[in-house]
Structure 1
Amino acid sequence: MDNIKLGLKENWKQFTLLVIVNAFVGGMVGLERSILPEIAEKEFGLVVKTAILSFIIVFGITKALTNYFTGALANKYGRKKLLILGWIIGTPIPFILMFAANWNWIIIANILLGINQGLAWSSTVVMKIDLVGDKQRGFAMGLNEFAGYLSVAIVAFLTGWIASEYGLRPYPFYIGIALVLLGLIFSVFFIKDTRHHVAKESKSNTVPLLNNIFLDTTWKNKNLGSVSQAGLINNLNDGMVWGIFPLLLASKNFTIEQIGIITAIYPAVWGIGQLFTGKMADKYPKKEMLFWGMLLQAITLLLFVFANSMYQYIILSSILGWGTAMVYPTFLASIAENTNPIDRAKSIGIFRLWRDLGYAIGAILTGLIADAYNINSSIVFIGVLTLISAIIIKTRMETITSCISKKEVQKKKNYIIIDVRTKEEREAGYIDNSIHIPITELENRIKELPTDKLYITACGKGGGRSIKASEILQLNKYNAFWLCGGTLGWIEKKAGNNV
C-alpha cells in the first residue's frame, strides 16, 4: 500500500492505457451513429419514428441498468474483471449488425451494446478517477471522454463514408471486429486493477459517507441530485440527436456522406472540447460550468428548427458539441467531489443509470412527438426541457471549492495565501507571508489581486469563511482553493486557541 501513489503524473502509463481502451469502447457506439436509422428505413422498411428509434431505447435502458450494477459490483469484484466482461459481451455485436435478417436482431445487438458500454465505459471512468486522486479529476474525465467521443465521431464518419462507397452492410461494421479484438487484448494483458488506490485515498478523504447512496445521488443531496437530473436531460437530447437528426437531414435531401459529416461533427467537438473543458472544471466552479453548458445546449437546440443549409447544421452541431463538452467531464468530477471514495463507484453507477436512461426517454419522447406532430416539434420540446435543467442547476446546486493541505500548498509555486479573518483574529497568530483581506472586504478589493497567481484562502480552522472566499475568487475567474485545517492547522496551535 505504501508504494501506491495518487496523481496523473504518478500513474500516467496506466492512465494512458485506459484512455486508449476507452477510445475502443467509444468506437463501438460510433458504428451505428450515422447509418443505423438509414438501415431501418431502407433495408427493413420501418416508417414509424418510435419503431426506428427502438434501438436507442433498448440501448439506453440496458446501458443504464448495467451502469448501476457495475457501480454496485465494482468494489466487490474489481474494475478490471468487469471491463473484460464488457468486451466479451461486446464480441458478437459487429457480426449481428452485418448479417441481421430482421430488425429484432438489431435490437438484440443493441442490448449487448448497452451491456458492453455499461461495463466497459463505467469501469474505465472509475479506474481513472481512482488513479488521479482529487486534484485533477476534471482533466482526467476530459481526457477519458475526449478519447471515447472522438472515437465515436471518427467511427461514425468512417462508417458513413464506407456506406456511401460500398453500401450500408456489411462493410462498415468490419471496424467493429477490430475494436473488439483490440479492446479485449488491452484489457486482459495491460490494464491493472485500481482497488488499492481507492483504499489509499479513503484514508485521507474527509467527505462523509452518504446515508442512502441511491436516494442521495438521485435527488436528496442538492449537488448530486442536480448533477443527476442534468445528466439525464443531456443524454435525452443526445438520444434525440442520435436518432432524429439523420432522419431530419435525410428528409432535407442530404446525401449519406453529408449526413455522416454533420453527425460526426457534434461528437467530435464534444470529444476534442473536453481536453479543454475538463481542465476548466478543475479551475472554475463546477456549478457555473454545468449551468452555462446546459444553457448553451438549450439555445442551440431551439435554433436547429431554423436551419436549412449544411453550413448552418455544421455551425450549430459544433456549438451543441461544445455545450455538451462543458458538462460531460464536469458531471463525473462533480460526483467524485461530492462523494467519499468508498461510495464513489456506487454513486457514479447511479448517476450513470439516470444519465443513460436519458437515451431511452429521449428516443421515446422524440419519436412520439415526431409521429404525432413533426420532427421540429420534438426538437423544440427537448430544447425547452434542457433549458429547465439549466435553471435547476442555477437555483438548487451549491458551489463547492476544493480544500488543499499545507503539504500540497508548499509544493506549489507562485501562490498567495489570503487570511480572510478579522484584524483581531489575525493579531492572535497568522501564517508567514500571508496577506490580510477580511472576508467582508474581499469582493470590493478583488481587483487589486493579479490574475496569474494561485490563491489559498485561510480562516481559523478551515471551512466556513475560507470556502466562501474561494468561491468568490473562482466566480471572478481566479484559481483558488481553501486551506484544509485553516490557520490553526498551519501554525500547529491547539484547536482551543482563538485563532
Structure 2
Amino acid sequence: MKTASAPPVLGLRQNLSQFMLLVAVNALVGGTLGQERTVLPLLAEKEFDLSLYTSALTYILAFGLSKAAMNYFAGTLSDRFGRKPVLVAGWFVALPVPLLLIFGPDWGWIVAANVLLGISQGLTWSTTVVMKMDLVGPQQRGLAMGLNEAAGYLGVALTALVTGYIAGHYGLRPGPFLVGAAYIAVGLGMSALFVRETHHHVKLEAAQHVDSHGGAHAGLTNGQVFRLTSFTDRSLSSVSQAGLVNNLNDGLAWGLFPILFASAGLSLGEIGILAAAYPAVWGAGQLVTGAASDRWGRKWLITAGMLVQAVGLVMVAAGHGFAVWLAAAVLLGLGTAMVYPTLLAAIGDVAHPAWRARSVGIYRLWRDGGFAVGALVSGVLADLYGLPTAIAAVAGLTALSGIVVAVRMRGNDHAVR
C-alpha cells in the first residue's frame, strides 16, 4: 500500500536536508564556472595568441549572452514543467564543455564551450535559487540566498585556486578541465537521484501570500512581468540595473585581471590566489550579508556594496603589486557579497509567488547580460586606452549604479510580510 507523502511546509529548518542538498549542488555549479577563472584568459594569450583584449574576451561575451537568455527561459520553464527537470537538463547541457575546452584546436571551440556553459549555468543556478526560495518561504529569504550564493562562489573560488595550481605544475590543458568534468558528473547524479521537486511549496506560499502591490498582480503575462521587473517597479528595476553593473565588473575581473597580473610579472600561483581571493571573500561574506539584509533591509546594503566595489576597482587600476591587488580583491569581494544575495532577496520580497520564478529569471537576464556588456566595454576601452583606464571607467559605472539604487529603490519592501 502506497504511503501518502507529507504535505509541504515552509521554512529552512523544516526543509533542511533538501535545502543543504541544493547548497551542495550549487557549489558544484559554481565549480564548473571556476574551472575557467584562472586558466582561460591565459589560454587565450599563450596558446591561441589572441593579442587584442576584445578578441580574447569573446568567450565571456558568448557566456554572458547565452546565460542571460537562458535565465529568462529557466523561470518560465520551471513554472511550466517543474523545477527538477530544468535543473537536470542544465547538467546534461554541461557534459560536452570539458571536452571542448580540453581538445578545442582553435578559439571557436572555446567560444562554443562557453555558449553551452552559459546555457547550463542559466538553467542550473537559476533553478537552485528558485527552489531555495520555494522551500524557505518569506521569513528567511536573505539567509537562504546568502547560503546559496556563498556555496556557488566558494565553489568558484576553490576551483580557481585548484586549477591555477594544476595549470602551474601540469600545464593549461587538460588538467584544470578534468576537475570540471568531475563536478558535472557528480552534480548530474545528485540532481537526478536525490533532489526533490519544490513546485508544491510555492503553491502553498501563494495561497498564504500578502501581495506588496495590494493584491492586483497575482496573475500576470510574461510581458507584464518583464516590464515590471525591468522598468516600471522602482525596486525591481533598481535591482535589475544593479545586477547588470555588478556582473559587468565581474566580467572585467574574470577576463582582464589575470592578464593585468601576468603582465606585471606575477607567477601563475600568485595569479591563482588573486583570482580565488575575490570570489572567496564574495562567497564567504554572503553567509553574513544575506541574513543581515533580512534584519536591516535591502536598499542601503546594496548601495554600500556597489560603492565598496568601486573603491576596490580603483585600487586595482591605480595600484601595483601582489599585496595591493590582494587588498583590492578582498574589497571587491566584500562589496559583491553585500550586493549579490540581497538583490535576489529583494526580488523575492516584491514578486508574487505566482510569477516570482519568472521575475527572478528576468532579473538574472539583466544581471548576467552584464557579463556580455562588461566584455565589450572593458575590451574596447582596454584596446583603446589600456587596462587601468578600462578598470577605472568600470569603477565609475559601479559607483553610479549604487547612487541609482539610493535614489530610486523603495526602502521597506523587505518588511511587507
TM-score per shorter chain, which class? over 0.9
How big is the shift at 1:3?
Answer: 2.0
Within the candidate set 134, 137, 146, 1:133 is matched to 137
Q: 1:167 and 1:195 mapped to 2: Cα distance?
A: 45
Q: 2:207 and 2:409 mapped to 1: Cα distance?
A: 27
Q: 2:298 and 2:340 mapped to 1: Cα distance?
A: 11
Q: 2:58 and 2:413 mapped to 1: Cα distance?
A: 42
TM, length-normalised to structure 2: 0.95
Within the candidate set 324, 329, 334, 2:346 is matched to 334
Partner of 2:171: 167
Partner of 1:282: 294
Partner of 1:262: 274
Partner of 2:249: 237
How big is the shift at 1:153?
Answer: 0.4
User: Which amino acid letter does the alignment assign opposite residue 324 of structure 2?
Assistant: Q
1:250 aligns with 2:262: yes
SS in 1 for 2:303: helix
Within the candidate set 33, 42, 45, 1:41 is matched to 45
Partner of 2:75: 71
Moved more, 105-114 or 200-209: 200-209
User: Which amino acid letter does the alignment assign opposite residue 103 of structure 2?
Assistant: F
Moved more, 93-102 or 1-10: 1-10
**Structure 2 matches for 1:23-422, cutoff 5 A?**
23-207=27-211, 208=215, 209=217, 212-400=224-412, 402=414
Partner of 1:412: none
How big is the shift at 1:177?
Answer: 1.5
Q: 2:134 and 2:293 mapped to 1: Cα distance?
A: 17
Q: Deviations over 1:107-150 (max 9, x none)?
A: 11000000110000000000000000000000000000010000
How big is the shift at 1:55?
Answer: 0.3
Q: 1:328 and 1:76 mapped to 2: Cα distance?
A: 27
User: Which amino acid letter does the alignment assign opposite residue 382 of structure 1?
Assistant: V
Q: Deviations over 1:89-115 (max 9, x none)?
A: 001111111111110000110000001
Q: Deviations over 1:212-247 (max 9, x none)?
A: 100110021000000000000000000000001011
SS in 1 for 2:163: helix
SS in 2 for 1:193: coil
User: Which amino acid letter does the alignment assign opposite residue 316 of structure 1?
Assistant: A
Q: 2:290 and 2:233 mapped to 1: Cα distance?
A: 23
Partner of 1:12: 16
How big is the shift at 1:402?
Answer: 4.7
User: Which amino acid letter does the alignment assign opposite residue 188 of structure 2?
Assistant: L
Q: Residues 366, 166 of structure 1: CA spacing in aligned structure 2 closer, same or farther, 3 A cutoff?
A: same
SS in 1 for 2:310: helix
Q: 1:16 and 1:378 mapped to 2: Cα distance?
A: 40
How big is the shift at 1:72?
Answer: 1.4
Percent of residue pairs identical: 48
How big is the shift at 1:159?
Answer: 0.6
The structure with higher relative contact order (CA 8 Å, sep 6+) is 2
Moved more, 321-330 or 304-313: 304-313
Q: Residues 402, 89 of structure 1: CA spacing in aligned structure 2 closer, same or farther, 3 A cutoff?
A: closer
How big is the shift at 1:309?
Answer: 1.6
Contact preservation (8 Å) 2:262, 2:271: yes
Partner of 1:454: none
User: Which amino acid letter does the alignment assign opposite residue 346 of structure 2?
Assistant: S
How big is the shift at 1:315?
Answer: 0.8
How big is the shift at 1:266?
Answer: 0.0
Q: Deviations over 1:17-69 (max 9, x none)?
A: 00000011000000100010111111111101011000000000000000000
SS in 1 for 2:196: coil
User: Which amino acid letter does the alignment assign opposite residue 228 of structure 2?
Assistant: D
How big is the shift at 1:401?
Answer: 5.0
Q: 2:297 and 2:87 mapped to 1: Cα distance?
A: 32
Q: 1:300 and 1:316 mapped to 2: Cα distance?
A: 5
**Structure 2 matches for 1:452-467, cutoff 5 A?**
none
Deviating 4+ runs (over 4 angstroms) = none
SS in 2 for 1:191: coil
User: Which amino acid letter does the alignment assign opposite residue 178 of structure 2?
Assistant: Y
Q: 2:403 and 2:333 mapped to 1: Cα distance?
A: 20
SS in 1 for 2:235: helix
How big is the shift at 1:299?
Answer: 1.8
Q: 1:172 and 1:240 mapped to 2: Cα distance?
A: 22
How big is the shift at 1:303?
Answer: 2.3
How many residues get paired? 405
Q: Which runs of 5+ in 1 are unaligned?
A: 404-481, 485-499
Q: 2:297 and 2:142 mapped to 1: Cα distance?
A: 11
Q: Deviations over 1:262-316 (max 9, x none)?
A: 1100000000000000110110120011110011111221222221121111111
SS in 1 for 2:354: helix
Q: Residues 367, 306 of structure 1: CA spacing in aligned structure 2 closer, same or farther, 3 A cutoff?
A: same
Q: Deviations over 1:195-223 (max 9, x none)?
A: 10011000111113275100110021000
Which structure shows the higher helix fraction?
2
Q: Which runs of 5+ in 2 are unaligned?
A: none
